[in-house]
Chain A
Amino acid sequence: MDTVKVIEIKKSVYESNDREADKLRAELKDKGIFLLNLMSSPGSGKTTTLKATINRMKYTHNIGVMEADIDSDVDAIAIAQDTGVKSIQLHTGGMCHLDAGMTRQGLDELIDGKVDFAILENVGNLVCPAEFDTGATKNAMILSVPEGDDKPLKYPLMFSICDVVLINKIDVMPYFDFDLEKCKENIKLRNPKAQVIPICAKSGEGVDEFVKWLEEEIRKNKE
């Protein structure tokens, strides 16, 4: 009988993905491409927010969007129809998140030599996408008012990895027990560096501030 060998590995399960993500980020920077990873729970208004943002930036940037979902292509069609920018649908095959390898595959199809601002609309989920670095230049998330101001306490990892948190649907705040100041405090507790921008994607309120943040980050990425 063969002797059984024990081989020590001592390596994080996320390490291969983290390495792949760092590599992708560096390559994108070299090419002058900015990749935004947008995350949130289902129904928080990711697609509406993107449409409002893209319509403000599409004349000054070559934008491309990757829509990641378990199934269907409704988001990719909505983006293409309402903004006119290139948009592709990625299916995760039942998986609850995208990793750096899948993001790279999507980018290979999306980036045709023109796109310099790529947006990844991640699977709607506040848990899994936070664990897997996609290789994005910056991470953004949306928390919508009906979800509640306590979400930063319940999903700490998601809030701790985001560079910017958009609080969406502020127009319905009077109808919900949502305390904006408390929510900001809860976010600060998890991530003192996160920018918090209250918006209403439907009316466009606050979207200009998000665009300003994006323009600044795109500029920094090109330095």
Chain B
Amino acid sequence: MHELGVVFHIIDDVTEVGHENNLTNIQSVTLQLGTVSTVIPDYLKDCWKWAVDRTELLKGADLIIEPIEAITYCEDCKSTYDTIEHGKICPNCGSKNTFLLQGTEFMIKEIAGS
């Protein structure tokens, strides 16, 4: 829902790293994005295209998104399960005593540039 806002945050962070490493052109940025992070990859890519073309350093840069699957852990039966499919309640024992192990990540993994 706030894809454009986060794109600006990413551009700021990446620009800083680019300058620190004396890059004059960044060709791609790789993100790791959890499937329950609330960020929608397609929207993110649209905002990305619009925003990077307004910068010098990142003009035309590709956005590569590596998804991270959402997994929940059940504290009662000690099992893990697919969060998207089953949500908060454990499908194995019906417990609500569960917590998310992964899936909310939103990381800048790496950049490639020259």
**Interface residues, chain A, CB within 8 Å of chain B?**
2-17, 95-97, 99, 125, 127-128, 131-132, 153, 156-157, 189
Taking a contact as CB atoms under 8 Å apart, the answer to whether A189 and B96 are in contact is: yes
Number of interface residues of B (CB under 8 A): 29
The residue that A16 contacts in the complex, of B12, B21, B112, B114, with Cβ under 8 A, is: B12
Query: Which stretch (B3-11, B48-56, B73-81) binds chain A?
Result: B3-11
The residue that A97 contacts in the complex, of B2, B88, B105, with Cβ under 8 A, is: B2
B60 at the interface (CB under 8 A from A): no
B28 → chain A closest CB, angstroms:
9
The residue that B114 contacts in the complex, of A2, A125, A131, A157, with Cβ under 8 A, is: A2
Taking a contact as CB atoms under 8 Å apart, the answer to whether B2 and A128 are in contact is: yes
Closest residue of chain B to A6, judged by CB?
B112
Q: Is the interface of B mostly helix, strand, loop or mixed?
A: mixed
Taking a contact as CB atoms under 8 Å apart, the answer to whether B110 and A9 are in contact is: yes
Closest residue of chain B to A126, judged by CB?
B1
Given A9-B13, A9-B17, A96-B2, does the pair A157, B109 have CB atoms closer than 8 Å?
Answer: no
The residue that A13 contacts in the complex, of B6, B27, B112, B113, with Cβ under 8 A, is: B6
Taking a contact as CB atoms under 8 Å apart, the answer to whether B113 and A4 are in contact is: yes
The residue that B1 contacts in the complex, of A3, A4, A15, A96, with Cβ under 8 A, is: A96
Taking a contact as CB atoms under 8 Å apart, the answer to whether B9 and A7 are in contact is: no
Closest residue of chain A to B1, judged by CB?
A127
Which of B5, B9, B14, B38 has most chain A Cβ within 10 Å?
A: B5
Taking a contact as CB atoms under 8 Å apart, the answer to whether A5 and B2 are in contact is: no
Closest residue of chain B to A92, judged by CB?
B5
Across the interface, which residues of B come within 8 angstroms of A127, CB to CB?
A: 1-2, 38
B111 at the interface (CB under 8 A from A): yes
